[in-house]
């Protein structure tokens, strides 16, 4: 990589990081290209040259954050902790993410950008399902997941939950803005209505 290309990439990454800080603080809707340009110390033209539009920049940010989360989840699932400990960490990470971006993360991912929806669906089909199968297999070995349940049934169950939440903007808002509600839903999905039996 020559000096010009390196500087260009550094400037693009500077814009990306400035946008992430502003989007986390104020949400996607309230931040303008001008705000990002001032924060990054570049012109608006520079941002348009690198990203094309604000929508494309948002798409880039969501993609970057989503892939970063995937790496975290992969490391958690492959780690040494027990199944419930891993589930707790993953839920905490997810609720922390949804509380950032001024509460707009789930609405943005689920509703506003078809490209983002397609990107996430592709990752889900290619990578997340494989990770979940490994995760559930570990849960079965540790006695937390019913060993009689097939991987297909478990994946379908969580797909129903995921798509059910994303089917309504009201459900997205309610689950995205309440850490306790998100934890309760995870508890229901793991232990059902009866609750965990020690």
What's the CATH class of domain 55-191? mainly alpha
What's the CATH class of domain 1-52? mainly alpha
The CATH 1.10.357 domain(s) of the chain lie at: 55-191
The CATH 1.10.10.60 domain(s) of the chain lie at: 1-52
* pLDDT per residue as tens, the chain (198 positions): 677 678 888 889 999 999 988 988 888 888 999 999 999 999 999 999 999 998 889 888 888 888 888 888 889 888 999 888 888 787 766 656 665 665 556 566 656 667 777 887 788 777 888 888 999 899 899 888 888 989 899 888 877 776 665 555 565 556 555 667 766 776 776 666 555 555
3-state SS track over the chain: CCHHHHHHHHHHHHHHHHHHHHHHHHCCCCCCHHHHHHHHCCCHHHHHHHHCCHHHHHHHHHHHHHHHHHHHHHHHHHCCCCHHHHHHHHHHHHHHHHHCHHHCHHHHHHHHCHHHHHHHHHHHHHHHHHHHHHHHHHHHHCCCCCCCCCHHHHHHHHHHHHHHHHCCHHHHHHHHCCHHHHHHHHHHHHHCCCCCCC
């Amino acid at each position: 990589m020559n000096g010009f290309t390196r500087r260009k990439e550094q400037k693009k990454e500077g814009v990306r990081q400035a946008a992430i800080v502003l989007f986390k603080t104020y949400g996607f809707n309230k931040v303008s290209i001008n705000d990002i340009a001032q924060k990054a110390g570049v012109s608006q033209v520079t941002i348009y040259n690198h990203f094309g539009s604000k929508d494309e920049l948002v798409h880039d940010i969501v993609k970057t954050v989503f892939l970063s989360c995937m790496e975290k989840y992969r490391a958690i699932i492959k780690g040494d902790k027990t199944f419930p400990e891993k589930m707790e960490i993953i839920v905490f990470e997810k609720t922390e993410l949804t509380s950032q971006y001024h509460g707009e993360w789930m609405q943005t991912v689920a509703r506003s950008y078809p490209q983002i929806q397609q990107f996430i669906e592709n990752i889900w089909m290619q990578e997340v399902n494989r990770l979940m199968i490994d995760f559930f297999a570990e849960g079965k070995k540790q006695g937390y997941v019913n060993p009689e349940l097939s991987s297909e049934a478990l994946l379908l169950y969580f797909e129903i939950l995921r798509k059910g939440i994303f089917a309504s903007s009201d459900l997205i808002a309610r689950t995205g803005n309440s850490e306790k509600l998100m934890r309760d839903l995870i508890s229901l999905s793991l232990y059902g209505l009866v609750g965990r039996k020690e």
